[in-house]
Amino acid sequence: MSTEIKAYGASDKAADLEPMTIKRREVGPKDVKIEITYCGVCHSDIHQVRNDWKNSVYPVVPGHEIIGHVVAVGENVKKFKEGQLVGVGCMVDSCRECSSCKDDLEQYCENGMVPTYNGKDKHLGGHTFGGYSEMVVVDQDFVLTIPENLDQKAVAPLLCAGITTFSPLNHWGVKEGDKVGIIGLGGLGHMGIKFANAMGAHVVMITTSPDKAKDAKRLGAHEVLISKDEEAMKEHTGSFDFLLNTVPVGHDINPYINLLKRDATMVLVGAIEPLDAVHGGGLVMGRKRVAGSLIGGIAETQEMLDFCGEHNIVSDVEMINMDNINEAYDRVTSSDVKYRFVIDMNSLKN
Amino acid sequence: MSTEIKAYGASDKAADLEPMTIKRREVGPKDVKIEITYCGVCHSDIHQVRNDWKNSVYPVVPGHEIIGHVVAVGENVKKFKEGQLVGVGCMVDSCRECSSCKDDLEQYCENGMVPTYNGKDKHLGGHTFGGYSEMVVVDQDFVLTIPENLDQKAVAPLLCAGITTFSPLNHWGVKEGDKVGIIGLGGLGHMGIKFANAMGAHVVMITTSPDKAKDAKRLGAHEVLISKDEEAMKEHTGSFDFLLNTVPVGHDINPYINLLKRDATMVLVGAIEPLDAVHGGGLVMGRKRVAGSLIGGIAETQEMLDFCGEHNIVSDVEMINMDNINEAYDRVTSSDVKYRFVIDMNSLKN
């Protein structure tokens, strides 16, 4: 049993996104049916649409920064009720049985979590479809509560860009007084600045572009370090307690390793591709660490949203209508957005 | 004031090691004078003699795995007495004031620790000379107590190869039941196996050479994983709690990252040069960590020696006379030693 609904997607990797019809399952006993009001545009939407990671299944209906209202709930759903404002992020299911799932880290599910789009659909067969659509039906365990005091349009990007940057800052214990560097000022980096600032850190925006300095300070950075300025980089050598590297492509991380204090960690969240050659000596001298981090588990995503409610943190967004999506993709690709596009999903209905 | 003593060193990077005379300082109030009985041959001795790291100062008198007897102590020395068996490792001094020194991590001294050879000699000027010599005078804070139950010849390599492998296993908390991989079976790797086994881990020797399997098991490995065997590598994917990578040259670490469990760490201790390109996705998927580690602090080196005394751990050594050193270097370079050469320093006197 399923319902046909309106969506927007790409039929192959060369295609622009265009209107299409997809199926959603009926509401099961543990399901929440959500009418989507807003959906953020993540860089990985573009990678998937263009098959950059060689795992896309067409048609691709992207979107994993979903905000909406509950319109129906299954008979066993206790946590949510009709009318409530909720969110859905990058996952809609996982095995629930492996050690990662039991540790509330469904994003590392050893049997493979189910991505919100382009994942394997256990209910209808085929693959999952994302938030560039009217409506979605999701298991209650993968639905998040949105603090009512926040602007819901600007909350959407928290479901991916937010948790991707909050989780490593939280997991590696960034605290008041730490000197924290956020490398790269885009959709991820701008959230990293806001979170690190709210956690009480001394926040340094590290960027190649001097023209980003003013905006970085508006977002909460206390200092800006231009990574091309060798003298400035030398002054900051060995001084950082933590580095969050949001650069979305392979690059040379050695100059950033030099910035770490002894025993400090740089976490990569953007570059899921080969990096330039790392010099082993840079890690050995100072017992430094490079790690990776992938979004966050459902419990930590809720913790992040509650933290945002408490500290009044949202994303800086630019609103678009559904039919502006192809132009928006071009602008994301050329880093021409401050800092996240959000689609007004009402525009799909017309 | 200084004394002339016999030593063995290289006068330039193209030269063989040969007999030479060097100066040692007189015994100061806090100094310990040690008559050297045995000195281990470390691969980094060869790197320094050949100026591979571009920081050698000639003549180079190598040797930082020093065992000997105390023959005199300064008036303020309380910890050591004449006749006592002692050791000296890779460092003979540090600033004592920086945060690393205060944390008992002199190897990361922010003002630069003084290496046992090829370091800056604060007392006589010029540079320090190592253990390929009759005698050495060292500040008591950098002298170690050797458990009397151990074979002193085979203790020498503990001062570098021992602490280099013990420290990361200890620092990252390897414990009973952990699945630990030791990558590379040489001077470092063979100590890694012994320590990980003594800590109660399930030890897997990971090597490119099937012919090393038998010896790895003799040393304490429970399993051997041949890294060129793709099927075997696949079976071990995501299963290791900790990896100690002792490979002494740049190499491809991506297949080893795949072996780590979620949140697990691989520590590099050998490759202080550029590695092949690391794939960011390998770290991101599973929140994995790659770190470095350099020898160990003096307190931890003593802890390691005491651990060896308790568990009856020494290095597997092949004894040589001082005038065999050039041949020994060639054999180390071609990995033809099980597993560490130790020089009988009595052979220098004749």
Average pLDDT of the residues in B137-162: 97
CA distance B307 to B194: 11
For chain A, how big is the Rg over CA atoms in Å?
20
Contact A292 B285 (CB under 8 A): yes
Q: Which residues of A touch B171 (CB under 8 A)?
A: 287
> For residue B33, is pLDDT > 80?
yes
Q: Which residues of A touch B293 (CB under 8 A)?
A: 284, 287
Residue A146 DSSP label: P
Which chain B residue shows the shortest CA-CA distance from A171?
Answer: B287
Tell me which residue in B274, B283, B294 faces A287 most closely, judged by beta carbons. Answer: B294
> For residue A53, is pLDDT > 90?
no
The pLDDT tens digits of the residues spanning A258-291 come to 999 999 999 999 988 899 999 999 999 999 999 9
Q: Which residues of B touch A285 (CB under 8 A)?
A: 108, 272, 292, 294
The pLDDT tens digits of the residues spanning A289-311 come to 999 999 999 999 999 999 999 99
CA distance B35 to B66: 10
Average pLDDT of the residues in A109-118: 96
Alpha carbon B296 to chain centroid, angstroms: 9
Reported confidence tier of residue B249, pLDDT bands at 50, 70, 90: confident
Residue with tokens 């004449």: B82
Q: Which residues of A touch B281 (CB under 8 A)?
A: 272-273, 292
Tell me which residue in B105, B268, B279 faces A280 most closely, judged by beta carbons. Answer: B268
Mean per-residue pLDDT over chain A, rounded: 96
Contact A284 B277 (CB under 8 A): no
- Residue to test with chain A: of B91, B170, B262, most A Cβ within 10 A: B262
Cis peptide before B108 (omega within 30 of 0): no
Which chain B residue shows the shortest CA-CA distance from A291?
Answer: B289
Question: How far B3 CA sits from the closest chain A CA (Å)?
Answer: 34
Reported confidence tier of residue A350, pLDDT bands at 50, 70, 90: low
The pLDDT tens digits of the residues spanning B101-132 come to 999 999 999 999 999 999 999 999 999 999 99
What chain A holds in terms of domains, given with CATH numbers, is 2-160+296-349 (3.90.180.10), 162-292 (3.40.50.720)
Which chain B residue shows the shortest CA-CA distance from A280?
Answer: B272
Q: Which residues of A touch B246 (CB under 8 A)?
A: none
Does residue A173 sit at the B interface (CB-CB below 8 Å)?
no
Q: Which residues of B touch A283 (CB under 8 A)?
A: 268, 290-292
Contact B280 A294 (CB under 8 A): no
Chain B 27-66, residues with CB within 8 Å of chain A CB atoms: none
End-to-end CA distance of chain A, in Å? 26
Does residue B110 sit at the A interface (CB-CB below 8 Å)?
yes
Contact B287 A284 (CB under 8 A): no
Beta strands in chain B (DSSP E): 2-9, 18-25, 31-40, 66-73, 85-88, 91-93, 114-115, 135-139, 144-145, 179-183, 202-207, 223-226, 240-245, 260-268, 289-292, 317-321, 340-344
**Residue A50 has what pLDDT?**
95
> For residue A36, is pLDDT > 80?
yes
Sign of the dihedral through C-alpha B183, B185, B188, B191: positive
Which CA distances in Å does A71 have to A74, A84, A124, A133, B105?
11, 8, 21, 15, 60
Which chain B residue shows the shortest CA-CA distance from A296?
Answer: B287
Q: Which residues of A touch B282 (CB under 8 A)?
A: 292
The pLDDT tens digits of the residues spanning A21-34 come to 999 999 999 999 99
> For residue A135, is pLDDT > 70?
yes
Contact B287 A262 (CB under 8 A): no
Average pLDDT of the residues in A84-111: 97
Amino acid at A289: R
Contact A275 B280 (CB under 8 A): yes
Average pLDDT of the residues in B232-252: 96
Amino acid at B136: V
Strand partners, A24: A3
> For residue A328, is pLDDT > 70?
yes
Contact B280 A262 (CB under 8 A): no
Tell me which residue in B262, B284, B292 faces A287 most closely, judged by beta carbons. Answer: B292
Question: How far B104 CA sits from the closest chain A CA (Å)?
Answer: 13
**Residue B73 has what pLDDT?**
98
Chain B 230-289, residues with CB within 8 Å of chain A CB atoms: 238, 250, 262, 265, 268-289
3-class DSSP string for B240-297: EEEEEECCCCCCCCHHHHCCEEEEEEEEECCCCCECCCCEHHHHHCCCCEEEECCCCC
Average pLDDT of the residues in B59-85: 97
Phi-psi region of B200 (alpha: psi -120 to 50; beta: other; left: phi over 0): left
Average pLDDT of the residues in A313-328: 97
Asked if B192 and B182 count as a contact pair (C-beta separation under 8 A), the reply is: yes
Question: How far B322 CA sits from the closest chain A CA (Å)?
Answer: 31
Residue B219 burial (CB count, 10 A): 22
Average pLDDT of the residues in B268-272: 91
Q: Which residues of B touch A111 (CB under 8 A)?
A: none
Q: Which residues of B touch A184 (CB under 8 A)?
A: none
